[in-house]
Structure 1
Amino acid sequence: MDFGIKNKTALITGADSGIGLETAKKLATEGAKIILSDIKEKDLENAKKDLLKTSSDAKVYLLPLDLSDPVKVDEAAEKVKKEYGGIDILVNCAGARGAAGDFMTLSDADWMKTIDIDLMGAVRLCRAFLPQLLERKWGRVVTIASENAFQPYIEESPYNACKAAIINLTKCLSRAYSKDNLLFNCVSPAFIETPMTDAMMEELAKKRNTSVKEAVDYFLKTDRPYIAVERRGTPAEVANVITFLCSDLASYVNGSNYRVDGGAVESAFG
């Protein structure tokens, strides 16, 4: 099957591990040139080595970047334009759980730190790289939202709000730039095997004095009872959907949100 993205240039943030790295691997397999971006260059070097194990002839570049710094984001866009000719695909995978806990215990600083990463990171990237997509008159932007946007969990109010905002932002941009042949979509995973959920399960295991596997089983039963497949998802399962949305096969998909959640959202219309 031809995805139509051979020789397209894809920038993936949050690409040192998890969904971001797996998406980079899938896109590289389809012949795309890959720009891996995350905060630490050493982590990106390790991610590149991992990617090249599956696509040894892939063209892979590294872009260390702190998305909380708008000046650095703009500089990164200029660098990509100058050195690689610009991008065709932007996948916003960077994010963090951020501050969590009882709503009344979360300060403005807690909220702003989460918003700065989970919402404004995507805003800054879209603003900085949109001119490159507009110039090419072809583009795909996929941003990671979450089941939390539809089914919020009380201890994660900043994260919930940011992911709902991401879906709204995506819809707004899809309406604004579809005339320029740019397509914007979201993917909403739930309980995927990533470093973020690994840390959550390790914390729960320590709290309950159990193994991590037992913590996962407990969490599935008590906190995610609607995951019909009764397991955590894998980064590859999410990356498969992202890859589709980055391709020519998704040419009539715009402003949409795809839930990759094993049935985690209880409502049929979320």
Structure 2
Amino acid sequence: MTSPSLRTALVTGATGDLGFAIAQRLLKDGHRMVLHARDADKARHRAAELKAQVSGGEIVTLVADIDTAAGRAELVAELAKARIHIDVLVNCAGGGGAHESWWDTGDEKWEACFRLNVMGTVGLCKAFVPGMKQRGWGRVINIASVAASKPLAVGPEYASAKAAVRSLTVSLALECANSGVTVNSVSPGLCMTEKVKGFLEPLVEASSRSENSLDEFASRNVFPNLIGQLARPEDIGEIVSLLASDRGAVITAQDLVVDGGYLSVTPA
């Protein structure tokens, strides 16, 4: 079993708000961080941000397209060349939903969404989990979505892909039984990322309603929930931190929902 101070975590999609918050939290926990991104400039920028925020942390950046087998092979080869093994795998790279109707979402959009969200996750699990099992310790955290449980009429390909992520999580957890490797998913609801802020701000400005904040507006009109606010990326980071640690050793084959109770709200 690897010592906590020597564990290495790979976070895919680490330049996005969610991936960055997860990487930031794991770096604070003492992990050596491997940040994956598609864009080299963004990767360097995010790594510099982390180094400024967390002193003494070790950070490695990797640029690859993980929605292709060739891109995943390149990422794995780079890590092998550097003699870095992965103890904590956070499959955060995802998205890609077109948010279009069933009839406007073409086959190529379905396939692209599944290549990124599903095959990207599957490919990296196949690459790194056998080593975790051999060493007797490992953590896999797949970022899913509440859309898997509560799909909308639009974006069917995204909800379906995230449902597949949740299913493969349980299957892999069963495969890893009694090995020291746990496998879980985290399903965020709508999070207050910079992109979501940009979406909400003009809606609030144009609204004649009495809401005083983005949280209040979103909780009443966009993403109804039981706490009157949206989760922050840092909230997801805290959940991943638990699952990635020895404290989370008895949690496996689970989907942890972080949605403020959205899934329990009955539509008016």
What TM-score does the superposition give when structure 2 sets the normalisation length? 0.89
User: Contact conserved, 2:148 with 2:162, CA < 8 A, in 1?
Assistant: yes
Question: 1:84: Cα distance to partner?
Answer: 3.5
Question: Which sections of structure 1, spanning at least 5 residues, go unmatched?
Answer: none
What residue in structure 2 maps to residue 253 of structure 1?
A: 251
Question: 1:70: Cα distance to partner?
Answer: 0.7
Structure 2 counterpart SS, 1:167: helix
* Change in CA separation of 1:55 and 1:17 when aligned onto 2, cut-off 3 Å: same
Structure 2 counterpart SS, 1:62: strand
State how far apart, in whole Å, the 2-side matches of 1:140 and 1:62 are. 20
Matched, 1:110 2:109: yes
What residue in structure 1 maps to residue 36 of structure 2?
A: 37
Could you tell me which amino acid in structure 1 is paired with residue 93 of structure 2?
Answer: A
**CA offsets, 1:77-98, max 9 Å, x none?**
1221231431101001111142
What residue in structure 2 maps to residue 119 of structure 1?
A: 118
User: Contact conserved, 1:205 with 1:214, CA < 8 A, in 2?
Assistant: no
Could you tell me which amino acid in structure 2 is paired with residue 254 of structure 1?
Answer: T
Runs of 4+ that moved beyond 4 A: 208-211, 213-219
How many residue pairs are counted as aligned between the two chains? 261
Question: Which sections of structure 2, spanning at least 5 residues, go unmatched?
Answer: none
* Change in CA separation of 1:125 and 1:245 when aligned onto 2, cut-off 3 Å: same
State how far apart, in whole Å, the 1-side matches of 2:120 and 2:34 are. 17
Q: Provide the alpha-carbon RMSD of the alignment.
A: 2.3
What TM-score does the superposition give when structure 1 sets the normalisation length? 0.89
State how far apart, in whole Å, the 2-side matches of 1:84 and 1:195 are. 35
Question: 1:157: Cα distance to partner?
Answer: 1.0
Question: 1:27: Cα distance to partner?
Answer: 1.0
Structure 2 counterpart SS, 1:265: helix
What residue in structure 2 maps to residue 152 of structure 1?
A: 151
Question: 1:30: Cα distance to partner?
Answer: 1.4
After the TM superposition, which residues 1-270 of structure 1 pair with which residues of structure 2 at under 5 Å, given as runs? 5-198=4-197, 200-201=199-200, 205=203, 218-225=217-224, 227-266=225-264
* Change in CA separation of 1:155 and 1:217 when aligned onto 2, cut-off 3 Å: farther
| Deviating more after overlay: 190-199 vs 100-109 | 190-199
**CA offsets, 1:145-183, max 9 Å, x none?**
111111112212111111111110000000001232211
User: Contact conserved, 1:17 with 1:195, CA < 8 A, in 2?
Assistant: no
Structure 2 counterpart SS, 1:178: coil
Structure 1 counterpart SS, 2:177: helix
* Change in CA separation of 1:160 and 1:200 when aligned onto 2, cut-off 3 Å: farther
Identity within the alignment, %: 27
Question: 1:123: Cα distance to partner?
Answer: 1.1
